Amino acid sequence: MQLLVCPICRAPLKRASATLVCAQRHTFDVAREGYVNLFPAHHRQSRSPGDDERMVAARRRFLDAGHFAPLRAELAATLMTACERGIGNAVDLGCGEGYFTDAVASVAVHTYGVDVSKAAIRAAARRYPTPTFVVASSRRLPLVDGSFDAATAILAPIDPDIVRVLANGGVVVRVSPGPDHLRALRDLAYTDARSHRRATTQLPGVEHLSERLVRFTFDTDRNARADLIAMTPMLHRTREDQRARALAPEHLTIEAGFWIDVLRKRH
């Protein structure tokens, strides 16, 4: 099923061999790994937006170790409960290297993963062949209007454009940091670590159905903590001495906390 539109003229895209083309003859090559780049240069705020290869590799090592497996299971269960009639089309916003997109794909017929990072999308397409992965911005989704039953945003921003592509009655599942998410790690790095602020869930034409705070702990060694720092905003918000303090203990048990919000587009 092809639910992609041209990021330039918004006309539907059709596949011709290894190329996607619209009626206006704008063409986009499908990469060897199977993803497509629909993020034109004039829409970007930097030459290489999003996570770089180092951050993608760190995230993959950390997630492959199973530290956030409970969240992955909660995500799939929440989607199935929220979409009692099943999920035909789903999109994972800010999908990164695809770990959570794969969970979405386990409960949806067709799944799309969208991220601004080419490195992340390339890694996702190599690992997970079932979803359709697209380099694109969540602010200008190259997706057909009203065609998606569900959207997810896992530790990623949600923008009003998601409402346009949702079908009436379609749901959004947003996962954001709980107040004490990674507190043990942050207390080591910062002398004044504060609780996370509650992320906003307001979208036009969308009603808030439910919220739940999910907590679990995981054990880390120094390598796991280095990967965790490298895949989070802490990488750019800490000095070298702060990161050294966070990595000093040989072992550290950390609590993860996530808000899971469910929203629905009004009919």
The pLDDT, as a whole number, for residue 200 is 80
Q: Where are the alpha helices (DSSP H) in 11-133?
A: 53-64, 69-82, 99-105, 118-127
The pLDDT, as a whole number, for residue 51 is 86
Residue 1 has pLDDT above 60, yes or no: no
pLDDT band, very low/low/confident/very high, at 42 (cuts 50, 70, 90): low
The pLDDT, as a whole number, for residue 80 is 95
Q: Which range has the worst mean pLDDT, 45-59, 77-91, 107-121?
A: 45-59
Residue 7 falls within a domain, yes or no? Answer: no
Q: Which two tokens stand for residue 163?
A: 């409402």
Mean pLDDT of 215-221: 98
pLDDT band, very low/low/confident/very high, at 235 (cuts 50, 70, 90): confident
% of the chain with per-residue pLDDT over 90: 85
Q: Which range has the worst mean pLDDT, 29-38, 42-51, 173-182?
A: 42-51
Residue 5 falls within a domain, yes or no? Answer: no
Residue carrying the six token digits 């789903």:
90
Alpha-carbon gap, residue 37 to 118, rounded angstroms: 8
Mean pLDDT of 80-108: 96
Residue 29 has pLDDT above 70, yes or no: yes
HEC string of the chain? CCCEECCCCCCECEEECCEEECCCCCEEEECCCCCEECCCHHHCCCCCCCCCHHHHHHHHHHHHCCCCHHHHHHHHHHHHHHCCCCEEEEEEECCCCCHHHHHHHCCEEEEEEEECCHHHHHHHHHHCCCCEEEECCCCCCCECCCCEEEEEEECCCCCCHHHHHEEEEEEEEEEEECCCCCHHHHHHHCCCCCCCCCCCCCCCCEEEEEEEEEEEEEEECHHHHHHHHHCCCHHHHCCHHHHHHHHCCCCEEEEEEEEEEEEEECC
The pLDDT, as a whole number, for residue 194 is 87
The pLDDT, as a whole number, for residue 239 is 92
- The whole domain housing 216 covers 14-265
Query: How many distinct structural domains can be found in the chain?
Result: 1
Residue 106 falls within a domain, yes or no? Answer: yes
| CATH code of the domain covering residue 125 | 3.40.50.150
Q: Which two tokens stand for residue 140?
A: 């200008």
pLDDT band, very low/low/confident/very high, at 109 (cuts 50, 70, 90): very high
Residue 2 falls within a domain, yes or no? Answer: no
pLDDT band, very low/low/confident/very high, at 231 (cuts 50, 70, 90): very high
Residue 70 falls within a domain, yes or no? Answer: yes
Backbone phi, psi, residue 12, to 5°: -60, 145
Residue 49 has pLDDT above 80, yes or no: no
Residue 79 has pLDDT above 60, yes or no: yes
Residue 3 falls within a domain, yes or no? Answer: no
% of the chain with per-residue pLDDT over 70: 97
Residue 252 has pLDDT above 90, yes or no: yes
The pLDDT, as a whole number, for residue 43 is 61
The pLDDT, as a whole number, for residue 128 is 97
Residue 248 falls within a domain, yes or no? Answer: yes
pLDDT band, very low/low/confident/very high, at 97 (cuts 50, 70, 90): very high
Q: Which two tokens stand for residue 64?
A: 């492959």
Residue 192 falls within a domain, yes or no? Answer: yes
Mean pLDDT of 85-111: 97
Alpha-carbon gap, residue 109 to 128, rounded angstroms: 15
Model pTM score: 0.95
